[in-house]
Structure 1
Amino acid sequence: MLTLRCNPISDGFDEGGFSQAGNVDFYLKSFRDHGSRTLAELIQKFSNSATPVNCVVYDSFLPWALDVAKEHGIYGDAFFTNSATVCSIFAHIHHGLLTLPLTPEMTPLLLPGLPPLTSQTCQFSEEARGVSEIWPAKLIGPMVPSAYLDERIKGDRGYGSSLWKPLSEECIEWLEKKPSNSVVYVSFGSMVSLSEE
């Protein structure tokens, strides 16, 4: 039988998260320092139990978690929330097969196992239409501001949301208009902490 435990670790700002830190660099350093320490404490806490920690599954955004796992002689597995294409690009960069920044001469980007990648061919409207005919789903995207894609919306450089500055009021207002127990929150690699409220 597999026992899976989910336990929190500290980013050093347990009362208010990122808003307490003031800036990204300070937050990430604190998260690495406090996160490494509290993850090590958590592994140690269970080391003499009937089910000690034998693998840490961590968000790929937090690579220092692998260092902590190795220090304790246990496995570490990165959980990538990116698409397979993005993971392939990261692997090519990691192995020195693709260098950044890309230059205009390097387009279209040619990588083994992937179609030629250009800003024009990375539009997925056909796929979106095909999927919506099969599944009654609403596809969201593109998740990139227009300025970085086709510039149809002049001056659109913002994402409209931020990991660092949540849209709390807007979200609460929207949620209050929905029937009770009708909304499910699914997070793929979020740094947001939610209370029971």
Structure 2
Amino acid sequence: MINKYAEQNRPGSCLINYPFIAWASDVAESLGIPSAMLWVQSCACFAAYYHYNHGLVPFPSESDPKIDVRLPAMPVLMHDEVPSFLHPSSPSPSLRTAILDCRSIVQVSNDTVRCDFMKADDCREWLDSKPASSVIYISFGTYVYLKQEQVDDIAHALLATGVAFLWVMRPWRQGLGRELHSLPQGFLEKVGDNGKIVRWSPQEKVLTHPSVSCFVSHCGWNSTMDALSCGVPIIAFPSMG
């Protein structure tokens, strides 16, 4: 792709990737293009990966999965508080390998890069119709896949409280082995105009809207930064990483 654009007199000047696709930096190097990594986790996570990778402090292992971790200038991390990819019980050990593979190429930058994963639905008119600080915004980001019973629990809780809500339920591509979520029978009829479900949202615009009171989030890096910068309280539902 990079070569194709170069042939069209649109050469790439920099390649930006994130920790799970470290091989992109190898591609950039082979083409003589500078690359930078957008680190999408906290400084504490970065420190944990660094000390794990260099064997500087003991971490939970197959033989001792309940050891606590002591990192410099940080509170003691209980065995179930370390970044989940580093724990021997992690269901995604390949992601640990991917992150550790990129240790030597990380560059820190405060540059802002924005893009939407997919076309956002227009929900401003609906938000405009709601009183100030009355709407709960619910979104679990790009990758988190909830169990159907978790979706059911959220739906029943929304019905029970009667609070207005904007809920992002993104569709999943076929071939990923993930079934589409369903809502309880009669849910939409009971909710009426008190709730709105969209496939994708213009998140920054939603979080800065005066009708939004809080954000139910999986605590991904983009969502966390968006909520902090917009001053919106988070109801935390950390789900991975």
Shorter-chain TM-score above 0.5: no
**What TM-score comes out, normalization by structure 1 length?**
0.41
Q: Relative contact order: is structure 1 or structure 2 higher (C-alpha 8 Å, sep ≥ 6)?
A: 2
**What TM-score comes out, normalization by structure 2 length?**
0.35
